[in-house]
Structure 1
Amino acid sequence: MTPEGVNIKHPDKLFIGGEWVAPHGPGQIEIENPDREEIVARVAEADEVDMDRAAAAAREAFDNGPWSTTPPLERMAKLMEMVDYLETRVPELAAAWTAQIGGLSSASGPMHAGGVAGLRGIASLGERFQWEERRPGMAVDTVIITREPVGVVAAIAPWNGPFAIMANKVFYSLIAGCTVIMKPSPETPLEAYIIAEAAEAVGMPAGTVNLVPAHREAADHLVHSRLIDKVTFTGSSAAGMHIASVCGSNMTRCTLELGGKSAAIIRDDFPIEAAAGILGNTITVMSGQVCAMLSRAIVPRARHDELAQAIAKVMQGVKIGHPEDADTQLGPLAMRRQLERVEMYIEEGKKSGADLVTGGNRPAHMNKGYYMEPTLFANVDNSSRIAQEEIFGPVLCLIPAEDEEDAIRIANDSNFGLNGSVLTNDPQAAYDIARRIRTGVVGQNGMRMEWTAPFGGFKQSGIGREGGDEGIWAYTETKTILLDGAPA
């Protein structure tokens, strides 16, 4: 069973060792549409036995298969074939995202077309990356530094951006020469099925790409496997810290892209209406379910009330509706538990003494689906739960600051450090403040994204970087070879 417009060949099977195989157990994963509150798809559920099968297949493929020793240029050519194939499936990827988490149809097509196009840049690392470097030594004649594949990769992706995040992990793994096991979120497994079908269609060696949709217990079993050389995980900080502890006990390499509570600092030179437009419209992107979301806005106290009213006006004009409607600006939250989480934090915000300026309720005209109005709290204490914890919904905290130094202090007063922004017309000021904010990315004038650059966080927002040329480093190991002469 798959949603309309999404054609999966074997939704009742797993992809292990180059074959579509029945799962060990009888379980199925049901996928609910958050707009209609109806089951729209069912796929196979992997258990611990299936995880062991996938790990063994990926281990065999890495140790004895051809992929890890295939020259990078040949790996690049095969991955370009996968991109060509995935381009034909963009409409299905778009439909799957809307069906599974209520992503807006108006954004889904361009988002997934861009996601597929970005994979060409990763594949091109086969040609651009410096896989080997030779240099003269002091104690030996020749020093050769090689970058070799890290091994078997367990790739665990979240539900909010399931295709781009999983595909990036898979392509970085493959171009480095690794084998990979895909463990998608149980809320959004369909995209990983399409990636597996792409690998099958272009004739990737058996065991190089594997797919095991599963819930948390089986995924944890995979992470514990000593057949795994690296875990790449995107998701919550709580889950990431658990994975880091497991990886530490096995000395398994890991890359963790985790949560955020990112701050936007509004300088005095930036117009109120422009700031309100950016902040009020950004918080509704993907219903606020973005790890890099600008969910704290820090403004000089003298401008606070004016900005609060301007943001409220923008939020009140946001069109809330069904994700398939072309004019909808805010769709549903991805699932019931996410709606309940957002409602809990709104109640916490009310108890904290912050001012609820607008929103905070389910929309009156939407009698079905997991919807929440854009919500603004003003006069927020930065030590409160709504300012310190990731809500993952359309809830913005407006925090007054005494001056620019205080604004920087407030921005850094967080356990997270993923993203940030400086709203200013002065690029030099944006740069100077960015250098002082303890966060992995800072953009001028909004939640800026650049897919050719590395992305990742400080503090509890993660370990390592994904994206850009730097994204391949974590999928390789450095080997030093010392010789008495230069080889041919």
Structure 2
Amino acid sequence: MTTSPLLPNHLGGQWQTGNGAGTPLFDPVLGTELARVSSAGLDLAAGFAFAREQGGKALRALSYGERAALLAAIVKVLQANRDAYYEIATANAGTTTKDSAVDIDGGIFTLGYYAKQGEALGSARALLDGERIRMGKDPVFQTQHILQPTHGVALFINAFNFPSWGLWEKAAPALLSGVPVIVKPATATAWLTQRMVKDVIDANILPPGALSVVCGSSAGLMDQLQPFDVVSFTGSAETARIIRSHPAVAERSVRCNIEADSLNSALLDPAATADGEAFNLLVSEVVREMTVKSGQKCTAIRRVFVPRALYDAAAQAIGARLAKTSVGNPRNESVRMGSLVSAEQKTSVLEGIATLRAEAEVLFDGSSAALVDADAAVAACVAPTLLGSREPAKAKVLHEVEVFGPVATLMAYDSIGQAYELIRRGEGSLVCSVYSTDPAFTASAALELGSAHGRVHAISPDVAASQTGHGNVMPMSLHGGPGRAGGGEELGGLRALGFYHRRSAVQASSAALDVLAASAVALKF
């Protein structure tokens, strides 16, 4: 039996193939092997040192504007190779063309956004944080807070669901900040990340060491981190706990950003009616969030809260739309929803559904419909499943277990106070969407829910055509969430640069601060 070739890693400014047979990557629909990855035998210490010393020094020698130009050049390279990326996504992630766009074009758009933001920072090499503050009665001696790029590397340990966007939404602000990037993509879908990095390296855009990719095992990566490095992780809460307890974080104070599990919610205004616009908007968004990327989004809606009087109507309306969702081989144009990324994920999702069913009724089960152009015994396809609970206050696992697939649970509430309490039982989420025609209710809900969510996405009839979607993460808005969502923060425009900078206070004469300000720019959000 012939095995697939190993995808090379890029570390220490050169391409390196790992040792051993490697771990195979599969087509989750056809079950065929596509490639293999291995990080065994790599000299990680030398690779990190090269990135830190060579890549970081070269990036920091440039201004923000010059680094922004590098991002713009990367955008052009990625756009020129989009067709290849779509082919890889279909083969390795089982996504439809529309779903692949969320990942691929979303990543490219984010890079372009930060290229424009960085261009506005011009020739500066540091950021001014706030105004000068007098240190005493005499104004000659003042303090100015500044932000400077950290002299370290940024290690990204990414999730399997967004191999493109997951890389570039982190790399864009890191590279703009002047910090070299080492990305470790999730093994199951590593091919797309590796190919994108390869195209950028081959284009000779970035200084050597500015961008590296390690595919395969993550063993030893955290051990390489030093005090001025940063690590950003997207994935399970269990792995997040391991990262937080690692000596690099616990003892060497490596800055750490975590995005973990999240039981995101959708809330319908208690004044809504079954024939009203807010109701229809909720139904449409829930169906979209359940089916886009087969529900494999950290921001997808998992719990849907509606007034008790609308529970049955919502179940019927959502189920009717889900029934029109064809599932199967994404190469077939009639397919609206592709597969999960692997057979392992299929097993996990089916087990998760069984767990939730202990506390919920099945409102819609699409598994009776035949798959389109796919063998059910081979393909990692799971049909949309809508569960429901008329008494969510009595539930436990429904507020604790996230099933990372095309699954959501409808929940009835009796008062808005109860709805808020039930939503908060998710213990912190990335996003909660609110559906209402009443601006006053929307505002009060945002204030009530904001502290438990990284983002409150309010959908009303006046923004129905322009709203960007409950689950779409836009670079100008914050991405992250408190509690079980990881407590991290990403994006949010130029706020993202803060993670890759170190803040210090310069206490000096006004004359010295004038000289400092000449090479810096005020950070404005």
Give the drift of 1:282. 2.2
Per-residue CA deviation, residues 319-349 of structure 1 (Å, 9 max, x unaligned), is 1121122232211111111111111122223
CA distance in 2, matches of 1:210, 1:448: 29
Please identify, of 104-113 and 233-242, the stretch whose mean Cα deviation from structure 2 is larger.
104-113
Letter of the 2:20 counterpart: P
Check if 1:338 corresponds to 2:348: no
CA distance in 1, matches of 2:8, 2:110: 29
Please identify, of 234-243 and 356-365, the stretch whose mean Cα deviation from structure 2 is larger.
356-365
1:88 aligned partner: 80
2:519 aligned partner: none
From 471, 489, 502, the counterpart of 1:477: 502
CA distance in 1, matches of 2:431, 2:3: 35
Letter of the 2:15 counterpart: W
From 435, 460, 465, the counterpart of 2:484: 460
Give the drift of 1:406. 1.0
Check if 1:257 corresponds to 2:259: yes
The answer (yes or no) to whether the contact 1:103–1:286 under 8 Å persists in 2 is yes
2:115 aligned partner: 123
Q: Secondary structure at the match of 2:346?
A: helix
Are residues 361 and 227 of structure 1, via their aligned partners in 2, closer, same or farther at CA, if it must alter by over 3 Å? Answer: same
Please identify, of 171-180 and 141-150, the stretch whose mean Cα deviation from structure 2 is larger.
141-150
Per-residue CA deviation, residues 102-145 of structure 1 (Å, 9 max, x unaligned), is 11123424752343132122123433358333625325624343
User: Which 5+ residue runs of structure 1 have no aligned equivalent?
Assistant: 4-9
Q: Secondary structure at the match of 1:419?
A: strand
The answer (yes or no) to whether the contact 1:454–1:465 under 8 Å persists in 2 is yes
Q: Secondary structure at the match of 2:489?
A: coil
CA distance in 2, matches of 1:358, 1:62: 53
Are residues 125 and 276 of structure 1, via their aligned partners in 2, closer, same or farther at CA, if it must alter by over 3 Å? Answer: closer
Per-residue CA deviation, residues 63-91 of structure 1 (Å, 9 max, x unaligned), is 6x322232222222222212211111111
Q: Secondary structure at the match of 2:238?
A: helix
Q: Secondary structure at the match of 2:454?
A: coil
Are residues 363 and 313 of structure 1, via their aligned partners in 2, closer, same or farther at CA, if it must alter by over 3 Å? Answer: same
The answer (yes or no) to whether the contact 1:102–1:334 under 8 Å persists in 2 is yes
Letter of the 1:52 counterpart: A
1:300 aligned partner: 307
Are residues 326 and 252 of structure 1, via their aligned partners in 2, closer, same or farther at CA, if it must alter by over 3 Å? Answer: same
The answer (yes or no) to whether the contact 2:315–2:363 under 8 Å persists in 1 is yes
Give the drift of 1:463. 2.7
Give the drift of 1:17. 2.2
Letter of the 1:22 counterpart: T
2:470 aligned partner: 447
From 28, 33, 50, the counterpart of 2:43: 50
2:28 aligned partner: 34
From 397, 401, 404, the counterpart of 1:389: 401
1:168 aligned partner: 169
- The TM-score, its normalising length taken from structure 2, stands at 0.84
User: Which 5+ residue runs of structure 2 have no aligned equivalent?
Assistant: 460-468, 516-525
CA distance in 2, matches of 1:175, 1:235: 24
CA distance in 1, matches of 2:133, 2:389: 61
2:380 aligned partner: 370
Give the drift of 1:293. 0.8
Aligned positions of 1:168-207 closer than 5 A: 168-193=169-194, 194-207=196-209
Please identify, of 451-460 and 383-392, the stretch whose mean Cα deviation from structure 2 is larger.
383-392
Aligned positions of 1:84-163 closer than 5 A: 84-109=76-101, 111-129=103-121, 131-133=126-128, 135=132, 137-139=134-136, 141-150=141-150, 151-163=152-164
Please identify, of 221-230 and 122-131, the stretch whose mean Cα deviation from structure 2 is larger.
122-131
The answer (yes or no) to whether the contact 1:2–1:40 under 8 Å persists in 2 is no
Are residues 152 and 288 of structure 1, via their aligned partners in 2, closer, same or farther at CA, if it must alter by over 3 Å? Answer: same
CA distance in 2, matches of 1:470, 1:28: 39
Are residues 435 and 207 of structure 1, via their aligned partners in 2, closer, same or farther at CA, if it must alter by over 3 Å? Answer: same
Are residues 280 and 86 of structure 1, via their aligned partners in 2, closer, same or farther at CA, if it must alter by over 3 Å? Answer: closer
CA distance in 1, matches of 2:232, 2:357: 37
Are residues 108 and 360 of structure 1, via their aligned partners in 2, closer, same or farther at CA, if it must alter by over 3 Å? Answer: closer
The answer (yes or no) to whether the contact 2:144–2:507 under 8 Å persists in 1 is yes
Aligned positions of 1:347-358 closer than 5 A: 347-352=354-359, 354-358=360-364
CA distance in 2, matches of 1:155, 1:96: 21
CA distance in 2, matches of 1:291, 1:453: 16
Please identify, of 196-205 and 388-397, the stretch whose mean Cα deviation from structure 2 is larger.
196-205
Letter of the 2:240 counterpart: G
The answer (yes or no) to whether the contact 1:31–1:100 under 8 Å persists in 2 is yes
Could you say what the CA RMSD is over the residues aligned between the two structures, in angstroms?
2.4
From 55, 60, 65, the counterpart of 1:68: 60
From 382, 385, 389, the counterpart of 1:379: 389
1:14 aligned partner: 9
The answer (yes or no) to whether the contact 2:8–2:16 under 8 Å persists in 1 is yes
Per-residue CA deviation, residues 260-291 of structure 1 (Å, 9 max, x unaligned), is 10111112325344433332232111111111
The answer (yes or no) to whether the contact 1:167–1:195 under 8 Å persists in 2 is no
The answer (yes or no) to whether the contact 2:59–2:207 under 8 Å persists in 1 is yes
1:312 aligned partner: 319
CA distance in 2, matches of 1:2, 1:101: 20
Are residues 123 and 277 of structure 1, via their aligned partners in 2, closer, same or farther at CA, if it must alter by over 3 Å? Answer: closer
The answer (yes or no) to whether the contact 1:427–1:444 under 8 Å persists in 2 is no
From 269, 272, 281, the counterpart of 1:269: 272
Are residues 200 and 367 of structure 1, via their aligned partners in 2, closer, same or farther at CA, if it must alter by over 3 Å? Answer: closer
Q: Secondary structure at the match of 1:345?
A: helix
Are residues 443 and 83 of structure 1, via their aligned partners in 2, closer, same or farther at CA, if it must alter by over 3 Å? Answer: same
Give the drift of 1:53. 3.1
Give the drift of 1:186. 0.6
Per-residue CA deviation, residues 203-248 of structure 1 (Å, 9 max, x unaligned), is 42221211111224x1xx2113243610011112221222122222
Q: Secondary structure at the match of 2:154?
A: strand
The answer (yes or no) to whether the contact 2:268–2:434 under 8 Å persists in 1 is yes
Give the drift of 1:419. 0.9
Letter of the 2:508 counterpart: L
Are residues 156 and 198 of structure 1, via their aligned partners in 2, closer, same or farther at CA, if it must alter by over 3 Å? Answer: same
